[in-house]
């Protein structure tokens, strides 16, 4: 029996990123222990709306949109694979996403976005006011149009975390909840030990996947990793009848219809805020925006509200790769608004990197870029 205190790889953080990496490593036969200070998914991941918004969240072309598209493409097969292995349905829904324009300026911006995305080879269709009214009759008639993105899809974020976690466990990984990593012993670029709330671990390699908290832990290991926490608040309602099938994305909120009839309405963005809970102002603003887009939502049943802290970065790109100056420390974080979407490519790519398969698509995301520039001033 393997010594669980000396796994080949220790993953710190049991969000969608840590559990996806643990799952992919376990699939390769690597002995993994994941350490989560709270509950699996209890950070940002279970707070997410579950959009796989590779196109809607991308304002311009570049390596980030390429990574997002690659990850989005992986989901249909990943969903089948997780169902076969765990019996869990992650509720992948391919009915597309509609980004709405309230005035002609927004319409022009969206039409421009549609143009570059079509040039890139993706599908993006402009719907004018008449088309919008015909296809989505319950939307407010003042909306001037929308960019329909048929391939941006969605999943249930909590189910995805659960499926990665169960998949990893079934493959032999050990996922420990309620275990906080407090620091470590580092010698000549190697993490020799992790100190935790239940004692010491001596892993062969360490993956830092601690979301918005990764910067604190990196500091304990002697690294300066700039992570920008961005709190998000959301709520859920249940309309009296189905009002729309597609995810709607407006200027001040998005509305994500779920398999069980709920609609998730999100989300605020508050930088440098780790506080739990949801303010009355957030609820008021999100509901007002939602009612502006779909007036009949006023009659929907109130369900609940929640919040999470997104892990942002200084340049908007995630940190994926080896920690500079270390031989056995890896960083997977900073996924900001797209961690659910990017979990597929991150898990697979990080497992490949750790098992010494180069992943060229990760080159633009190497953590070295911020650490080197910080050292150089």
- Number of residues counted as binding ligand FAD (CB under 6 A): 43
Answer with the entry of ligand GLY, ligand FAD, none that 173 interacts with (C-beta below 5 to 8 A by kind): none
374: left (phi over 0), alpha (psi -120 to 50) or beta: alpha
Contacted by 177, from ligand GLY, ligand FAD, none: CB < 5 to 8 Å by type: none
44 binds, among ligand GLY, ligand FAD, none (CB under 5 to 8 A by kind): ligand FAD
Q: Does 250 bind ligand GLY (CB under 6 A)?
A: no
And the tokens for 122? 């993706």
Residue whose CB is less far from ligand GLY, 126 or 336: 336
Which residues 18-37 are close enough to bind ligand FAD by CB under 6 A? Answer: 18, 35-37
What is the smallest separation between the CB atom of 242 and ligand FAD, expressed in angstroms?
20
206 binds, among ligand GLY, ligand FAD, none (CB under 5 to 8 A by kind): none
Q: Does 184 bind ligand FAD (CB under 6 A)?
A: no
Q: Is 158 in the site for ligand GLY (CB under 6 A)?
A: no
3-state secondary structure the chain: CCCCCCCCEEEECCCHHHHHHHHHHHHCCCCEEEEECCCCCCCCHHHCCCEECCCCCCCCCCHHHHHHHHHHHHHHHHHHHHHHHHCCCCCCECCCEEEEECCHHHHHHHHHHHHHHHHCCCCCEEEEHHHHHHHCCCCCCCCCEEEEECCCEECCHHHHHHHHHHHHHHCCCEEEECCCEEEEEEECCEEEEEEECCEEECCCEEEECCHHHHHHHHHHCCCCCCEEEEEEEEEEEECCCCCCCCEEECCCCEEEECCCCCEEEECCCEECCCCCCCCHHHHHHHHHHHHHHCHHHHHCEEEEEEEEEEEEECCCCCEEEECCCCCCEEEEECCHHHHHHHHHHHHHHHHHHHCCCCCHHHHHHCCHHHHHHHHCC
The stretch among 112-120, 133-141, 338-346, 356-364 that binds ligand FAD (CB under 6 A) is 338-346
Nearer to ligand GLY, 32 or 56 (CB): 56
Backbone angle region of 59, left / alpha / beta, with phi > 0 → left and psi within -120 to 50 → alpha: alpha
Binding mask 213-252 for ligand FAD (x = CB under 6 A): x---x--------------x-x------------------
Q: Toward ligand FAD, which CB reaches closer, 212 or 243?
A: 212
Binding of residue 99 to ligand FAD (CB under 6 A): no
C-beta of 208 vs 243, nearer to ligand FAD: 208
Draw the binding track, 251-270, toward ligand GLY (x: CB under 6 A; -: no contact): ---------------xx---
Q: How far is the CB of 158 from ligand FAD (least distance, A)?
A: 11
Residues 175-234 that bind ligand GLY (CB under 6 A): 232
Q: Which stretch binds ligand FAD (CB under 6 A): 105-113, 138-146, 207-215, 354-362?
A: 207-215
Position among 311, 321, 347, 367 found at the interface with ligand FAD (CB under 6 A): 311
For the chain, how many residues are written? Answer: 377
Task: Compare residues 31 and 57 and give the one whose CB is closer to ligand GLY.
Answer: 57
Burial call 207-228: b when 16+ CB within 10 Å, e when fewer: bbbbbbbbbebbeebebebbbb
Contact residues: ligand GLY, CB under 6 A? 49, 51, 232, 266-267, 310, 337
Contact residues: ligand FAD, CB under 6 A? 12-18, 35-38, 42-45, 47-51, 180-181, 209-213, 217, 232, 234, 266-267, 308, 310-311, 333, 335-341
């Amino acid at each position: 029996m393997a010594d669980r205190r000396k796994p080949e790889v220790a993953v710190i953080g049991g969000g969608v990123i840590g559990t996806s990496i643990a799952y992919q490593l376990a699939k390769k036969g690597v002995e993994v222990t994941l350490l989560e200070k709270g509950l699996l998914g209890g950070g940002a991941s279970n707070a997410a709306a579950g959009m796989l918004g590779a196109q809607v969240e991308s304002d311009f072309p570049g390596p980030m949109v390429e990574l997002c598209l690659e990850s989005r493409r992986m989901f249909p097969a990943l969903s089948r694979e997780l169902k076969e292995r765990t019996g869990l349905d992650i509720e992948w829904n391919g009915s597309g996403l509609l980004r709405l324009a309230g005035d002609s300026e927004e319409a022009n911006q969206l039409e421009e976005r549609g143009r570059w995305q079509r040039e890139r080879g993706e599908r993006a269709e402009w719907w004018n006011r008449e088309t919008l009214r015909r296809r989505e009759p319950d939307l407010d008639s003042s909306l001037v149009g929308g960019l329909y993105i048929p391939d941006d899809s969605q999943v249930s974020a909590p189910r995805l975390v659960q499926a990665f976690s169960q998949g990893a466990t079934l493959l032999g990984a050990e996922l420990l909840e309620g275990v906080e990593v407090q620091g470590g012993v580092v010698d000549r670029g190697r993490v020799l030990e992790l100190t935790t709330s239940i004692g010491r671990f001596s892993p062969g390699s360490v993956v830092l996947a601690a979301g918005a908290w990764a910067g604190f832990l990196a500091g304990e290991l002697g690294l300066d990793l700039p992570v920008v926490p961005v709190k998000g608040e959301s709520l859920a309602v249940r309309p009296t009848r189905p009002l729309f099938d597609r995810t709607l994305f407006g200027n001040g909120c998005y509305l994500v219809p779920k398999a069980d009839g709920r609609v998730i309405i999100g989300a605020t963005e508050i930088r440098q805020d780790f506080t739990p809970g949801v303010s009355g102002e957030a609820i008021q603003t999100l509901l007002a925006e939602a009612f502006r887009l779909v007036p009949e939502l006023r009659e929907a049943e109130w369900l609940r509200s929640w919040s999470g802290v997104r892990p942002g970065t200084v340049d908007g790109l995630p940190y994926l790769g080896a920690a500079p100056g270390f031989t056995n420390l890896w960083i997977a974080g900073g996924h900001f608004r797209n961690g659910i979407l990017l979990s597929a490519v991150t898990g697979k790519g990080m497992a490949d990197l750790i098992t010494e398969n180069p992943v060229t698509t990760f080159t633009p995301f190497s953590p070295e870029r911020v650490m080197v520039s910080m050292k150089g001033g």
